[in-house]
Structure 1
Amino acid sequence: MTNNLTKLWATSVRRLLATQTRAARAVMREADRHTKHPQPPWRDAQTGTAPAPGKGAAPAAAASAVAPHQATSRVTPQATPARESRVGPRAAAWAAGEWRRAEHIVPATPQRASRALHHGLYLPANRHTAGMPLVVMLHGCKQSMDTFAEGTRMNLLADRYGFAVVYPEQSEFAHPHQCWQWYDARDEAGGGEAAAVVSLVDALVDEYGFDASRVYLAGLSAGAGLAALLAVRAPGRFAAVALHSGPAFGEARSGVTALDVMRRGLHTDPVELLERHLGDEAHPGMPAIVVQGDDDAVVAPINAEQLTVQFLRLNGLADSDGVRPDVRSRESEREGFVVQDYARRGANVVRLCRVANLDHAWSGGDDAVPFHSAMGPDASAMIWSFFEGHRREAANDAWCVEVAKGAS
């Protein structure tokens, strides 16, 4: 990686060409691998109950007792055991704190009708919520609040470091695969979803007394796409953002063009696209960490490179000539991944983490849950470590007026 943006983009193109040779086959493999979703076990963990041994085999045994001659004529189907996690007991993600499922009603505005936003809120045990940081986690397609919490294991970090976590959940009525519509900024689609997340954050800060200057935003895949939209449109609500396996910002306008961006990256200059959205307004900046698997055939790695360029520009670390001279860039190669940091005045503002051999999955997560992998560094721990160093200034509040009011 180099301080010259032109070389950064050239490197991205080379990576893209290497990725596309295996993209079609990998997409089919991923689709087959992630067809079934495991039942989240958090309810049993909360109550201390577990399925009785042999549950599921009893009906077959009863049938055998009634008609033994039938039992010898065919093989009794056996229940497939749940796949075990390689990073620890899956139920541990729910054991210590309190999990609250709720529905937030987003008030109607002249621009859009009222809507409901389901979410799960995790509160660490034996801690006061006043002044507590809040992490907002936006799941990807074919995920729920339960599977995302279970797979990322962010709640375990919440117990350790004392922050709350909220998991907004996309409705199947809004999208059949529960994808956030990051590519469509209209009020009835992604624009309304972004406004709903802002409304939920405001309501939780008011109700629980969370620290409004330490609200952070993270997303995976389509959730990263919506997080990027929020980072541009509502920077006053969030102190930093994390984008894992997310599409580059600004070019997609429909489901078809969204797929094109995911597979090939942006066709237009990333900085030019960003500046079109900003217009004449000066953005206050949004610290960002971008995490990407090098073998991701769903969202091509070039998207991560382009997102990094866009957030360098968004934070004033780069212009049309490249990275500014006062910005320090450092690349560190570790076992299985490479981290590129861009710092100003000693503080890391933009970080790119590229994970070798990782496909379209959350790095270092619970690989018993679809779209999470035990391979690579613990993305949740890396993201929280980055978040901890950032706090939102009160002056950024002015940037949330339009989104909070529901204007598109």
Structure 2
Amino acid sequence: MPRKKTSLWLKGLQLLASAAQPKKKTATRKRTPRKSTAKTVRAARAPSASAAGKWIRSYHSAPPLAGHLVNHLAYALYVPASLASTAAGEGAPLVVMLHGCKQTAESFAAGTRIGRLAERAGFAVLLPEQAKTAHAQRCWHWHGDPAQSEAPAVASLVEAIVAQYGFDATRVYLAGISAGAGLASALALHHARLFAAAGLHSGPVFGAATSTMSAMHVMRRGAREDPLQLVERSVDVAAYAGMPTMIVHGEFDAVVEKRNAAQLAAQFARVNRLTDAHGALRVGEMRTYSRDGADYTDWLRAGRLVVRLCIVRGLGHAWSGGDAREAFHSGKGPEATSMLWQFFRRQKRAH
């Protein structure tokens, strides 16, 4: 007989807490949030000898949309102790993290160590979670029409959480790995008003896959078509507000071929209007260099970094510099979590 749902929630909360603070101490308490469509299920305090932040496990009901795959999303939210003196972190930045296939909010948080960094840097973390009823392997539906994917539900969740907790709407950042990076691309391009910057780790090129079969082909080989034409079909580049983006990929990724990363970088250089429709640099400058076991290509405008491509040497399909005890995370390479935050913290979305 399966365990009750309550015990599953509690197990997840314990893993989330340990991802934020490894010291042993337990305490739980319920939290009553402000009114919102996001309903709080249970809150837990991370174990620590001193005051620690809270991991909150909850779910969100997005407005129903015709043809929408899912409008009920579970999620985990971390509010660090450094924000405890404010009304649940009012005015703080928010980082949205989208897990990959066969992952949960808990395993992604533990593998990336995002809670520990959030505690030090003072930002909140939101981890939407795909339901097994929507996909048996918990994969997001990143291919096909973004309007028919989970992107609208995630966008609705982000809006609800920002409104409920009073996070800074101009400093909301988006990151994902693998299928989560695929969905993050769709959100960055079709819900750009919500995010100040994006981070795509081990993700597929945007717009090339229209079905499960074509998605497999794209993952193995990248897009057959010109990636710039693919993105221009979906986005009005002239009207697009822009999206600073960092792309991280393993050199030896056998699940999502690294050609996808180069194509993604070309797409985001284009939508940020750094290049023309043929990929030629039109403004700013492009730099290539190597350091810390990775090869970088940067696109800059007026000396400011807008798009970065980072290929981690020797890395497979895994989060760079993560906790190797969690699946799809590797201790190899630069620490992607810190690298992304250093990129995010310099970005702010205009009102």
- State the TM-score bracket (shorter-chain normalisation): 0.7 to 0.9
Match of 2:113 in 1: 153
- 1:66-105 equivalences under 5 Å are 96-105=52-61
Instruction: Report if aligned partners of 1:250, 1:277 keep a CA contact under 8 Å in 2.
Output: yes
Instruction: Report if aligned partners of 2:82, 2:119 keep a CA contact under 8 Å in 1.
Output: no
Once the 2 structures are TM-superposed, how far is the Cα of residue 244 of structure 1 from its aligned partner? 0.1
Match of 2:223 among 252, 263, 266: 266
Match of 1:167 in 2: 127
Match of 2:76 in 1: 120
Comparing 107-116 and 300-309, the one that deviates more = 107-116
Once the 2 structures are TM-superposed, how far is the Cα of residue 372 of structure 1 from its aligned partner? 0.1
Aligned partner of 1:375: which letter?
Answer: K
1:144 matched to 2:111: no
Match of 1:312 among 269, 285, 288: 269
SS at match of 1:319: coil
Aligned partner of 1:108: which letter?
Answer: P
Once the 2 structures are TM-superposed, how far is the Cα of residue 284 of structure 1 from its aligned partner? 1.1
Identify, as 1 or 2, the structure richer in strand.
Answer: 2
Aligned partner of 1:105: which letter?
Answer: S
1:89-145 alpha-carbon deviations (Å, 9 max, x no partner): xx89xx932100001111224665872100000010041211100000000000000
Match of 1:248 in 2: 205
Once the 2 structures are TM-superposed, how far is the Cα of residue 215 of structure 1 from its aligned partner? 0.4
SS at match of 2:296: strand
* In structure 1, distance between residues paired with 2:72 and 2:317: 29
Cα 1:364–1:201 shift into 2, 3 Å: same
- Paired residue total: 311
Match of 1:322 among 267, 274, 279: 279
1:222 matched to 2:199: no
Cα 1:312–1:149 shift into 2, 3 Å: same
1:297 matched to 2:254: yes
Q: Which runs of 4+ in 1 moved over 4 A?
A: 43-47, 109-114
Instruction: Report if aligned partners of 1:107, 1:114 keep a CA contact under 8 Å in 2.
Output: no
Aligned partner of 1:143: which letter?
Answer: Q
Match of 1:182 among 134, 142, 161: 142
Instruction: Report if aligned partners of 1:105, 1:114 keep a CA contact under 8 Å in 2.
Output: no
* In structure 2, distance between residues paired with 1:251 and 1:322: 17
* Unmatched 5+ stretches in structure 1: 1-38, 50-90, 395-408
Instruction: Report if aligned partners of 1:101, 1:121 keep a CA contact under 8 Å in 2.
Output: yes
* In structure 2, distance between residues paired with 1:43 and 1:264: 35
Match of 1:48 in 2: 25
Match of 1:35 in 2: none
Once the 2 structures are TM-superposed, how far is the Cα of residue 338 of structure 1 from its aligned partner? 1.4
Match of 2:299 among 332, 342, 364: 342
Amino-acid identity (%) = 48
* In structure 2, distance between residues paired with 1:109 and 1:171: 18
* In structure 2, distance between residues paired with 1:245 and 1:180: 14
Identify, as 1 or 2, the structure richer in helix.
Answer: 1
Instruction: Report if aligned partners of 2:266, 2:279 keep a CA contact under 8 Å in 1.
Output: no
Aligned partner of 1:389: which letter?
Answer: R
* In structure 2, distance between residues paired with 1:278 and 1:269: 15
Aligned partner of 2:304: which letter?
Answer: A
Cα 1:152–1:280 shift into 2, 3 Å: closer
* Higher radius of gyration, 1 or 2: 1
* In structure 1, distance between residues paired with 2:237 and 2:282: 24
Match of 1:195 among 152, 166, 169: 152
Once the 2 structures are TM-superposed, how far is the Cα of residue 186 of structure 1 from its aligned partner? 6.2
* In structure 2, distance between residues paired with 1:349 and 1:175: 34
SS at match of 2:81: coil
* In structure 2, distance between residues paired with 1:266 and 1:204: 35
Once the 2 structures are TM-superposed, how far is the Cα of residue 278 of structure 1 from its aligned partner? 1.9
Match of 2:314 in 1: 357
Comparing 322-331 and 294-303, the one that deviates more = 322-331
TM-score between the two structures when normalised by the length of structure 1: 0.72
Aligned partner of 2:204: which letter?
Answer: P
Match of 2:8 in 1: none
Q: CA RMSD in A?
A: 2.2
SS at match of 1:316: coil
1:286-333 alpha-carbon deviations (Å, 9 max, x no partner): 110000000001000000000000000010000134333532112221
TM-score between the two structures when normalised by the length of structure 2: 0.84
1:367 matched to 2:324: yes
SS at match of 1:257: helix
1:335-372 alpha-carbon deviations (Å, 9 max, x no partner): 31112211101210000111001000000000000000
Aligned partner of 1:117: which letter?
Answer: L
Aligned partner of 1:289: which letter?
Answer: M
Once the 2 structures are TM-superposed, how far is the Cα of residue 276 of structure 1 from its aligned partner? 0.9
Instruction: Report if aligned partners of 2:297, 2:310 keep a CA contact under 8 Å in 1.
Output: yes
